[in-house]
Amino acid sequence: MADEVQARLDELRRLIRRHDHLYHGLDAPEIANAEYDALFDELLALERAHPDRITEDSPSQRVGGAPLPEFAAVTHEVAMLSLEKVATAAELAEWHGRCLGRLGDESLAFCCEPKIDGVAVALIYEHGRLALAATRGDGRTGEDITANVRTIPSVPLRLQGDAAPPRFEVRGEIYISKQDFKAFNERARAADERTLVNPRNGAAGSLRQLDPKITAARPLKMYCYSLGWVAGDWRPETQMEALQHLAAWGLRTNPEAKLVQDIAACQAYLEDIAERRGALPYDIDGVVVKVNSLEQQRRLGAVTRRPRWAVAYKYPAEEATTRVLGVEFQVGRTGAITPVAKLEPVFVGGVTVSNATLHNMDEVRRLGLGLGDRVMVRRAGDVIPQIVSVIKEGAGGEQFEAGDADGAPAIDQGAQTGDEAALANSQGNIKLPTQCPACGSPVVRPEGEAVARCSAAATQCPAQRKEGLQHYASRLAMDIEGLGYKLVEQLVETGMVKTPADLYRLDARELAALPRMGDKSAENLLQALSASRSTTLARFIYALGIREVGEATAQNLAAHFGDLAPLCNATAEELEVVPDVGPIVAAKIAAYFGNKGNQALVDELVAEGVHWPTVEARVAAMPLAGQTWVLTGSLEEMPRSEAKQKLIGLGAKVAGSVSKNTAQVVAGPAAGNKLARAEELGVPVMDEAAFLDLLRANNVL
């Protein structure tokens, strides 16, 4: 019996480790959450019944142990050096020239990857098990944070396979993703708890909690970016080879890491990442460029505290301090009244920022914000800048009173009407207006909601009308080229357009008579409107602007119902069956289509010729319709999540395991069991180059 218990414990731990790696490391789960939970519950039950058989590397031990009295000091066997920083192409070229000078003009290839704005750590594995985790500290001495790091799901407590060296150190970055940071703060605000200032501070603070249970509750992740040292004879030859081995052992590596063959390709990579910076799932402050050959790294060596073989290319900072000059209240398409801070202009994230969102009045209260305060402003990519904290007197930056000699204006809240903003008063207090700044209707705050709203219907409030039309025309909705906000303002203010259906009734002559239009612009707009009549059901649902229905939810609704009529007639209970649609969202969708005015608008749009193919017809026409594909290994050109979406866009179903029904397997570097299973079953396999050719041939790359 005892042997059976141990065998089951070993099997459960093996299965859970495997599924942890698939979910947290490869973003390719093979089982549902309920199945995973059942495995974990069985493990916990067996360990409770046999506490003497609990091991340190058991998945159950991630929950965190007893609070620590303090962090012990750790001396790094090999120093964790800082990197030289460059910020221009000329500085990068100068560094490249110095490398060539020391190597005698040898050819140089580089490994590039995003420099995640997180916390650098070192992990030591002994015989495949996590033995120690330490902060970088001063580079020579860090702090022992093993108990906290053990709680992070993407850090394996035990490595996969038995090919890893008996003892080695791996280095990486622990961070909080943008999505997880947003979700954590939303939960904290709802519970009236302290929020995190920004992802990097949140990660650093989480790792330095004396109570590991607090760390376990934080959404931390880790990417490994290099080997520190290795005991034994094995050595990789290149940085990319090292990353591939780390991935094969179950350590999470960044799919954006790329090998480039010369400095020109390196510069192209820097420009590509800069362009996609805002779309990356994590914050970055630059790109790390490393000489790929480890032998060349050894010969280049280090100077003082910096290696000569690597450099950090830094992008413009995304945080800066400035002062709040005033607050205006803007009205959104759903009537939401949003306070927006008017700032003393400051350069942050590559642009000059003079406005920052404050979300709602609860956020103003949480920040303790008043007119004239010095604040920390954050901007990430294309995200609207936001105030993350108030810098109090004595914490850096002088304070000043509204209307004093430093230039902050004395402003009367509510003094402006119509489309002008209601502003904070001269006492520094920020008060919610009692009337809508756009239409004068009473402002209400529905029970249980953090957001105050204009009580008028969208057709009665010009601000809601403008925002709704802008949303309808946006790229992810009906994609009406040329219908920008200025033109929407003109159409609403002249009374030419009250609802989206009115757009399709516009007259060329009247359009051409508008300021800055003319015959050609009017003709182009009418052509764009005509083209928008042919769309997809998902785009149309999203364009309607139903509260809580974003692009992903609209796609799920379209896939589930197939056409508009079943969706319009669905009950809240029927809507809850749709993936990612809970009771609150279901109630809002049902209420939208239950409103006679909304239903009349939908009918008008259809009568004006807006149409779409049914989901069945669209999928049947796709090149990979009916096929099941599997992704395995690490793709170098794009994240696997992006590859998955491209396959779905071509009609394929993307599965997590290989079977006799699999049509095709795409295998990248470090492909493992799935590749072996495909070869065993005779399933066709293509490499990444062939996969990219397929995407190009179908115009999705």
DSSP string, 477-515: TT--TT--HHHHHHHHHTTS-SSHHHHTT--HHHHHTST
What Å distances lie between residue 230 and 126, 169, 226, CA to CA? 11, 6, 11
What Å distances lie between residue 2 and 219, 231, 248, 341, 514, CA to CA? 37, 36, 33, 66, 85
The sign one gets for the Cα dihedral 238, 243, 244, 245 is positive
Helical ranges in 83-226 per DSSP H = 89-103, 146-149, 178-190, 199-207, 212-216
154: its two tokens: 């993407």
Q: Which residue, among 104, 98, 137, has the nearest Cα to 120 in the 3D structure?
A: 137
Q: Which residue, among 282, 344, 285, has the nearest Cα to 315 in the 3D structure?
A: 285
Q: Which residue, among 623, 659, 665, has the nearest Cα to 643 in the 3D structure?
A: 665
Name all domains of the chain by residue range, CATH numbers in brackets.
2-63 (1.10.287.610), 84-314 (3.30.470.30), 319-448 (2.40.50.140), 462-532 (1.10.150.20), 537-617 (1.10.150.20), 624-697 (3.40.50.10190)
Q: Which residue, among 504, 454, 473, 695, has the nearest Cα to 608 in the 3D structure?
A: 504
Based on the residue annotation, tell me whether 115 is a catalytic residue of this protein.
Answer: yes
Report the 10 Å Cβ neighbour count for 72. 11
The sign one gets for the Cα dihedral 84, 89, 93, 94 is negative
Q: Which residue, among 443, 193, 197, has the nearest Cα to 338 in the 3D structure?
A: 443
pLDDT profile of the chain (701 residues), mean per 10: 80 83 62 68 82 81 58 88 87 93 89 92 94 88 91 91 91 93 85 78 84 89 94 92 94 94 94 88 92 94 84 84 92 92 86 87 87 85 76 47 28 31 49 93 86 88 94 92 92 94 95 92 95 94 92 85 91 85 90 93 96 68 82 80 79 82 86 83 90 85 73
336: its two tokens: 């939401």
Whether the CB-CB separation of 450 and 360 falls below 8 Å is answered with yes
Which amino acid would we find at residue 331? Answer: V
CA separation for the pair 5, 504 (Å, rounded): 70
CA separation for the pair 439, 303 (Å, rounded): 65
CA separation for the pair 400, 384 (Å, rounded): 26
Considering the candidates 115, 290, 466, 674, report the single residue annotated as catalytic: 115
CA separation for the pair 142, 137 (Å, rounded): 4
SS (H, E, C) 451-475: CCEECCCCCCCHHHHHHHHHHHHCC
Number of H helices, E strands in the chain: 26, 24
SS3 content of the chain, % helix, strand, coil (to 5): 40, 20, 40
